[in-house]
Amino acid sequence: MAAFPPHPSSSLHPLRFQGTDVLLAQMNILDFIAQNANHSTMFLFKCRGWAPLWLLTGVLSLQFVDLSAASAWNRFRGPNGTGVLESSVKLSQLSMEDLAWKLELPGEGHSSPVLWGQTLFLTSMNPQASSFYVVAIDTLSGKVNWSREVAYEAFSKHDFNSFASPSPTVDETGVYIAWARPESLHLASLTHQGEWRWDRDLGPYQSQHGVGVSPILYQGKVIMANDQLGKSSLIALDKANGSLIWQTPRNSDKAAYSTPCLYQAEGEAGQLIFNSAADGITGVDPSNGQVIWSYPKAFDKRSCSSPIVAGGKIFGSCGSGGGGNYVVALNPPNASSANKVELAYEIRRSANYVPTPLALGDIVYFWSDGGILTAADPKTGRIHYQERVGGRYFGSPVATGGEILCVSTTGELVVVEAGPTFKTPHRLDLGALCHATPALSEEALYVRTAWTLHKFHQP
């Protein structure tokens, strides 16, 4: 395991700035970094405050096991990747008057914000793709608490991807991030104060579309899928020091960008669910990485969306830029079925490829890349409606208060009321490139566009 260089002259070091306040209207982070690179004290940004969120009205069939992780939006798409969190924000009433602050970020990225307490963490990449940044932001003031830099070298990726697409995850002891260089995939950790804790080189990473999968935390482990064109595996590291706890070999095919979730049947131990083109949908024992069950024929195309659990079913999807997307719903195995998994049904029309589905109450929603929203009964697959909301989408929907939000690639916030009947959406246009999934807190909504972070808060 590699150690981080201890001083600023190294290729990996903390960035520090002149202690002062700067109005964002006059200067962004990159400008200030360039002008104050030799100063040693921390730089903070002076902005307005921000917040909004959503109030959960339905109950997912999924049982949350790790309540400490579910207490914050601490991973991609929040508690267990569901995209749902109780909040005071009224999504259907959002307007630009609710914008508490807007922060220019140090470069471009599509990673989604994660939260712990009053701190938000995300990543970005400078325009030259020579510096990868990890940024910690105070959610009340919109000030940058700290920024850390990793020397970077660009490699092949899809035009719609970025070099800062994996979302961080965070807990009470640290923040955990993933990034890739041409020769290596890295998983690393920092303290909440921005000090490097450890960096693990996971070996070469091969994908024609770049990197995109995000790590999660469970039972003291940092867990990530490394499904790629080269040597693939599932990996669990000790969150305290980055040492390897287990590594499970995988088949290799198209790189997958699916972030796992936890599934737990009543009275049984929890399982981690992983999706990939090469291995289909797989249930894994989080204590040792052993494969409990697998449905390898689930997908014939790339898996980008992440799995969810709803109505007693496990959902995954696959697709391509050329179409042929479809959703798979599985009946998960249990003790009485001798760990036999069965296909429940498929949804082949207007299915999602990149966006992850969302479940509220007794309805599961599939928000397609091409802007068609499908509402279905998760138990039977019966379609309540399929309606066009317009736009193109790479971020995933989130929900609160019986309302669902997804942000288009042009930065339009589209809000739909949950329920079996489609109603006219509420819209708010930010007019900026956006491939990221929003984040929610108890009283705020955070929307990350490629170059900026917005906080919405309603009094």
Adjacent-strand bridge partners of 133: 124, 149
Confidence of residue 156 (pLDDT cuts 50, 70, 90): low
Smallest Cα–Cα separation from 109: which of 91, 131, 87? Answer: 131
Provide the mean pLDDT of the chain: 83
Cα separations (Å) of 448 from 322, 379, 404, 439? 27, 34, 17, 8
Query: Which sign does the torsion angle of CA 181, 241, 136, 412 carry?
Result: positive
- Quick one: CA dihedral 281, 286, 290, 293, positive or negative? negative
The per-residue pLDDT for 43 is: 29
Question: What's the pLDDT band for 320 if we cut at 50, 70, 90?
Answer: confident
Give the pLDDT score at 356.
95
pLDDT digits (tens, 9 = 90+) for 218-277: 999 999 999 887 888 999 999 999 999 999 999 988 878 889 999 998 888 899 999 998
Confidence at residue 65, expressed as pLDDT on a 0 to 100 scale? 37
Domains for the chain: give ranges and CATH numbers: 12-456 (2.130.10.10)
| 3-state class percentages of the chain: helix first, strand second, coil last, to nearest 5 | 5, 40, 55
- Give me the pLDDT at residue 131, please: 83
What is the percentage of the chain residues whose pLDDT exceeds 90? 64
The pLDDT score that the predictor gives to residue 161 is: 60
* pLDDT at position 182: 72
Q: Give the model confidence (pLDDT) of 60-116 as tens digits.
A: 333 333 434 335 799 999 999 999 999 999 999 999 999 999 999 988 898 999 999
Q: Write down the pLDDT at residue 379.
A: 96
Find the mean pLDDT for residues 397-408: 97
pLDDT at position 285: 96
* CA angle 115–118–120, rounded 5-degree value: 35
Question: What average pLDDT does range 139-163 have in this prediction?
Answer: 80
168/74 Cα distance (integer angstroms) = 8
Give the number of C-alpha atoms closer than 13 A to the C-alpha of residue 83, restricted to the C-beta side.
30
Which residues does residue 62 pair with via DSSP β-bridges, in sequence order? none
